[in-house]
């Protein structure tokens, strides 16, 4: 019976729910025993798998739980995992942390030298066995620990995309963080870990270089593998970035590529009259603004500049779409310029050439991106689908 022993003393001390078997788990979470059994015994069938491209040209596999499994994982995260403290060195995925990426960069912003290491296949390196012993160490018996571990893992490892995966990874790495912290503290080296990104900084170049081998040995001893391609040593002359944030000249700045991407997405929405990416755009803006205060105001000015550009006010579809789908409510409406006063039969009218140029410019943009849009002709009030700008007569638009 020893293997079914539940350490209620630890559970009470950590204020964790007392779960002794499948029935008590079912009562605690409000989910039937049958559904819990299905999700824990056949968890691999309750995930959706897709890939996203990586910078090196390869792809990263993401496994996200389906709705029923997601609900249970959310309960495990909030009622069990988040009640257990992770190390101070683990910066990401903490509840109420705010912008942890910015905090991670700020810790190292005043250091002269940086050493950055990356753990290869971080989440998939954390096997179900480690997750099982995590729950076992919290006080749960063998049966319950196995159920919880099965609900949080996918095909025997921690899935990237799982609700519990980030916090579990921090708990699993508690010993790793403390071992490295103890080593660095004696040498006046700052250490933080954001998921699989380990950052070390110091004003002493030689000390930082000498400690690298010892750190790598600790990482291997804890069951992880270093990705040598992502190992970097940065000096004052280097472009220093920590978790994607530039810290050169002791200033915190968001990625230039990300800011360029945001402007490109806004411009794309404006020209194509397609605002389906508004939520993503707002998310990016909020993130960058949390790093660089005042960034949102700059973006508002950029959008207003587009909205007041005389080259766009003649396109009814642009004006209507903009006014109906503003990225931010505080933006003013865009005014449509009605061209009924233009005599399109008069080839000598100089405005004809002007309008032809802006029509060609806009639809060349759309053609390059294989975008189809619909506009209304001022002359016919019929909807016109634009698919081939080369065959377009500007008089049909205005």
pLDDT in tens, 222-265: 999 999 999 999 988 888 888 888 887 777 889 888 999 999 99
CA dist 132 and 145 (Å) reads 5
Query: CB count, 10 Å around CB of 244?
Result: 15
More confident residue, 220 or 352: 220
Contacts of residue 46, defined as CB under 8 A and 6 or more positions apart, other chains included, come to: 39, 65, 66, 68, 69
Q: State the pTM of this model.
A: 0.77
Percent of the chain at pLDDT > 90 equals 62
Band of the pLDDT at 359, cuts 50, 70, 90? low
pLDDT at 380 over 90: no
Query: CB count, 10 Å around CB of 162?
Result: 27
Q: Within a 13 Å sphere around the CA of 9, how many CA atoms are in the beta-carbon half?
A: 1
* 3-state SS assignment for residue 44: helix
The pLDDT value given to residue 239:
83
Closest to 138 in 3D by CA, of 306, 327, 10, 277 = 10
CA dist 149 and 292 (Å) reads 40
Per-residue pLDDT tens for 235-246? Answer: 888 888 888 888
The alpha-carbon radius of gyration of the chain (Å, integer) is: 28
pLDDT at 393 over 90: no
Return mean pLDDT, the chain: 86
Any idea what DSSP says for residue 92? S
The pLDDT value given to residue 341:
52
Task: For residue 234, give both structure tokens.
Answer: 């940065």
The pLDDT value given to residue 271:
84
CA dist 46 and 78 (Å) reads 21
Per-residue pLDDT tens for 148-206? Answer: 999 999 999 999 999 999 999 999 999 999 999 999 999 999 999 999 999 999 999 99
The pLDDT value given to residue 337:
72
Helix H or strand E segment including 60: strand 59-65
* 3-state SS assignment for residue 117: strand
Scanning 294-340, the segments in alpha helix (DSSP H) are 295-307, 316-324
Please report the DSSP string for 193-262 in residue order: EETTEEEEEES-HHHHHHHHHHHHHHHHHTT--B-GGG-EEE-TTS--EETTEE-GGG--B--HHHHHHH
CA dist 165 and 174 (Å) reads 14
Is-contact 195 92, C-beta < 8 A? yes
Per-residue pLDDT tens for 266-324? Answer: 998 988 888 999 999 999 999 999 898 899 999 999 999 989 887 777 778 888 899 99
Per-residue pLDDT tens for 100-133? Answer: 888 999 999 899 999 999 999 999 999 999 999 9
CA dist 44 and 63 (Å) reads 9
CA dist 148 and 366 (Å) reads 51
The pLDDT value given to residue 379:
41
Per-residue pLDDT tens for 38-59? Answer: 999 999 999 999 988 877 777 8
Per-residue pLDDT tens for 59-69? Answer: 889 999 999 99
């Amino acid at each position: 019976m020893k293997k079914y022993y539940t350490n209620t003393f630890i559970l009470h001390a950590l204020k964790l729910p007392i779960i002794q078997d499948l029935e008590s788990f079912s009562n605690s979470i409000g989910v039937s025993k049958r559904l819990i059994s299905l999700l824990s015994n056949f968890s691999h069938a309750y995930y959706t798998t897709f890939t996203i491209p990586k910078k090196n040209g390869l792809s990263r596999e993401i496994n996200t739980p389906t709705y029923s499994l997601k609900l249970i994982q959310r309960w495990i995260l909030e009622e069990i995992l988040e009640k257990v403290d992770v190390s101070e060195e683990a910066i990401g995925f903490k509840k109420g942390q705010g912008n942890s990426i910015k905090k991670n960069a700020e810790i190292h912003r005043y250091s002269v030298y940086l050493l950055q290491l990356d753990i290869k296949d971080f989440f998939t390196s954390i096997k179900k066995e480690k997750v099982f012993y995590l729950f076992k160490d919290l006080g749960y018996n063998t049966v319950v620990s196995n159920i919880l571990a099965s609900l949080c893992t996918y095909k025997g490892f921690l899935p990237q995309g799982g609700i519990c995966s980030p916090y579990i990874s921090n708990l699993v790495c508690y010993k790793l963080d403390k071992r490295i912290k103890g080593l660095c503290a004696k040498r006046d080296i700052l250490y933080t870990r954001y998921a699989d990104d380990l950052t070390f900084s110091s004003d002493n170049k030689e000390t930082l270089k000498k400690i690298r081998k010892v750190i790598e040995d600790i990482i291997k001893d804890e069951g992880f593998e270093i990705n040598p391609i992502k190992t970097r040593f940065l000096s004052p002359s280097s472009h220093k970035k920590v978790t994607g944030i530039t810290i050169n000249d002791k200033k915190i700045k968001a990625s230039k590529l990300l800011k360029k991407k945001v402007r490109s997405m806004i411009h794309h929405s404006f020209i194509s009259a397609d605002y389906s990416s508004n939520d993503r755009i707002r998310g990016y803006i909020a993130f960058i603004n949390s790093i660089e205060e005042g960034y949102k105001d700059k973006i508002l000015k950029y959008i207003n500049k587009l909205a007041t550009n005389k080259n766009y006010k003649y396109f009814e579809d642009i004006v209507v779409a903009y006014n109906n789908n503003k990225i931010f409510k505080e933006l003013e409406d865009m005014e449509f310029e009605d061209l009924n006063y233009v005599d399109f039969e008069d080839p000598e009218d100089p405005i004809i050439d002007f309008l032809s140029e802006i029509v060609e410019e806009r639809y060349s943009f759309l053609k390059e991106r294989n975008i189809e849009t619909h506009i209304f002709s001022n002359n016919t009030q019929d909807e016109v689908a634009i698919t081939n700008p080369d065959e377009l007569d500007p008089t049909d638009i205005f």
